[in-house]
């Protein structure tokens, strides 16, 4: 079978085995995450703020900048789809100057990365699949400066320390988001959500 045939058959199997009723706007996102993880529990743990899918797709069609918390999440985002949308994806956390600034100021690299992300002009999609400090930095800055404009978040870090709490705080913040509640998540989940958002835009996946 060709790769696309395998993917299509996988989606058919997921559809057949899915036990949770999902709204049609979020179902393709959830199915793409299940496809990436073989974990049907995401059908119950992925949460979407009202109109999040339409909002994020609108941002992408306006050439949004995606900023990820890790290079692993960045690597999983489909660059061909990005180019077709005129969008771009960046990750600052491994940059040498970010590490130096973080050490000099006594803050985390995630905090400096978030500051840089929020300083970018235009629509921004902040994508977290690994580091809850990336989300907590956003919420700390938002608490001081107010909710960032034209910004949405995919918050799906995986793990045990500060992970559940960071997602809950994001969910309660009022910032438009897609969040995977609980301990599960990961960079592959984050990238799968971004790709699903892009694939649902007409002409992106020709």
DSSP for residue 204: S
Cα separation values, 137 from 36, 66, 111, 112, 131, Å: 27, 17, 5, 9, 10
Residue with tokens 């892009």: 198
Of the candidates 10, 11, 18, 35, the residue annotated as catalytic is 35
Given CA atoms 73, 79, 82, 88 in this order, what sign does their dihedral have? positive
72 phi/psi in degrees, rounded to 5: -65, -45
CA-wise closest residue to 114 among 85, 87, 93: 93
DSSP for residue 195: H
Number of neighbouring beta carbons within 10 Å of residue 65: 17
**Cβ contact 196:52 at 8 Å:** no
CA 149 to CA 87: how far, in whole Å? 18
| Known active-site residue 35 | yes
Q: What are the helix (H) ranges across 38-131?
A: 42-45, 52-61, 71-76, 79-85, 96-105, 109-118
Active site residues: 35
């Amino acid at each position: 079978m060709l790769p696309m045939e395998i993917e299509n058959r996988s989606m058919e199997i997921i559809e057949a085995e899915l036990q949770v009723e999902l709204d049609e706007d979020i179902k393709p996102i959830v199915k793409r995450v299940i496809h990436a993880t073989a974990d049907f529990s995401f059908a119950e743990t992925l949460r979407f703020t009202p109109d999040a899918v339409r909002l994020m797709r609108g941002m992408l069609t306006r050439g949004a900048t995606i900023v990820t918390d890790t290079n692993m999440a960045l690597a999983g985002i489909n660059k061909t789809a990005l180019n077709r949308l005129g969008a771009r994806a960046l990750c600052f956390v491994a940059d040498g100057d970010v590490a130096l600034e973080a050490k000099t100021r006594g803050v985390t690299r995630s905090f400096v990365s978030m500051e840089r992300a929020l300083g970018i002009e235009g629509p921004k999609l902040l994508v977290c699949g690994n580091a809850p400090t990336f989300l907590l930095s956003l919420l700390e800055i938002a608490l001081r400066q107010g909710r960032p404009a034209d910004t949405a978040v995919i918050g799906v870090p995986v793990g045990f320390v500060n992970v559940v709490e960071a997602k809950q705080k994001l969910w309660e913040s009022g910032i438009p988001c897609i969040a995977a509640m609980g301990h599960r998540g990961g960079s592959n989940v984050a990238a799968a959500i971004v790709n699903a958002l892009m694939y649902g835009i007409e002409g992106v996946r020709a």
